[in-house]
Amino acid sequence: MRSSLLNSALLLLHWSSASSLEIPYRRSYFYVGGSYVDDGAGGHLFQGQMYVEKLGPVDGPSQPTPIVLIHGQGQTGTITKATSHQNFLNKPDGGVGWASRFIEQGHEVYVVDQTFRGRSPWRPGAGQAEPSAFTAEYVQQRFTAVRDYALWPQAALHTQWPGPGTMGDPVFDAFYGAGAQYIDNATYQQTAVQAAGARLLDRIGTPVVLVGHSQGGIMPPLIADARPHLTRALVLLEPSGPPFRDALPVPKPARAWGLADIPLTYRPAVARPDVELVTQTFAARDENHTDCILQAEAPLPRRLANLADIPILTVTAEASFHALYDECNVRYLRQAGCKVDHVELGDVGIHGNGHMFFMEMNSDVIQDLVHDWILNATKGG
């Protein structure tokens, strides 16, 4: 009897300790988007569908605005490795992630796996590009151990990744081991996610806040462009950039539509971006930033018609490679008539973060900042 009671007490203690790391929620899932395509051999495959995990407070949402979370390249929204989730649901070190914090704050949360990624199936032979994956060395250089490589000036400031951020460290291995392959074709990926994202907003049926990180950071503007009436605000966490090119490791053309590789709605309308989006290079503000290719000042810059009335927040970490050029994205949006707040974390006293700041040790402080902005941006809506 005593042994049974002891075992029960130990089990309760273990459950209490584990459950204290997570926020209770109601969970369901579904797929949106996709279509049947010819497999080239007389059959059909279904492709382009997007997995969505719907999470909500146990007692129902107390906030009127749902949050949609869109992960970046080589990631999924709720990667599962053994029994632990990471990215937006939990962090690689076992800490509570942003999805849980938004639920705790009363929001209904939708976490997606981008098309052809994770639980959004990739099917060979369906006309897609071949899948790619980041090497462990690339992840160390860009995300987790950036001080060791010093590939950009701000890298020396990185202190918030838990542990050394290198192969063999348990936190790094948990993060990298849960990474996912991705389709290395920006046009194809953006087209599919925009279509599925629009269907997701149709299904939710009430205006949402779209939150995207890195390569997933261009998806909120694209989805909002397709469904402006169902978009309440955009939060861009170090989105792909800068406009019209990749800056690292060697500058090369990209994003022909300014922010994206696929069409955005401009006024006056644009049919041929290479001709009609006249560009001009503006000097960098100092040696620690890149110059910016923006629309030329004359003729007047074209406006992003469907985004102009949607509040936008861009967040940039102090030690990230995005510190070099995120301001170019912000300047481009403002030039195109958008209302953009740009928070550079170091300027508001939040120091030491890299590109994966929503997974790092002080992630709760940054989430509080983002949530406060969301409440203010959606006030009265």
Residues 6+ apart with CB under 8 A from 316: 238, 322, 323, 326, 327, 342, 343, 344, 345
Tell me if 190 sits within 8 A of 262, measured CB to CB. Answer: yes
> Can you tell me the distance from the alpha carbon of 50 to that of 118, in angstroms, rounded to the nearest whole number?
10
Kindly provide the residue ranges of all beta strands, DSSP E only, lying in the chain, ordered along the sequence: 26-32, 35-38, 44-47, 50-56, 67-70, 78-81, 84-87, 109-113, 131-132, 182-183, 208-213, 231-237, 245-246, 252-253, 266-267, 279-282, 292-295, 303-304, 312-316, 340-344
Residues serving a catalytic function are 214
Q: Report how far Cα 319 is from the mean position of its chain's Cα atoms.
A: 18
Tell me if 211 sits within 8 A of 110, measured CB to CB. Answer: no
Pairing type for strands 208-213 and 303-304 reads unpaired
- The tokens for 183 are 């389709």
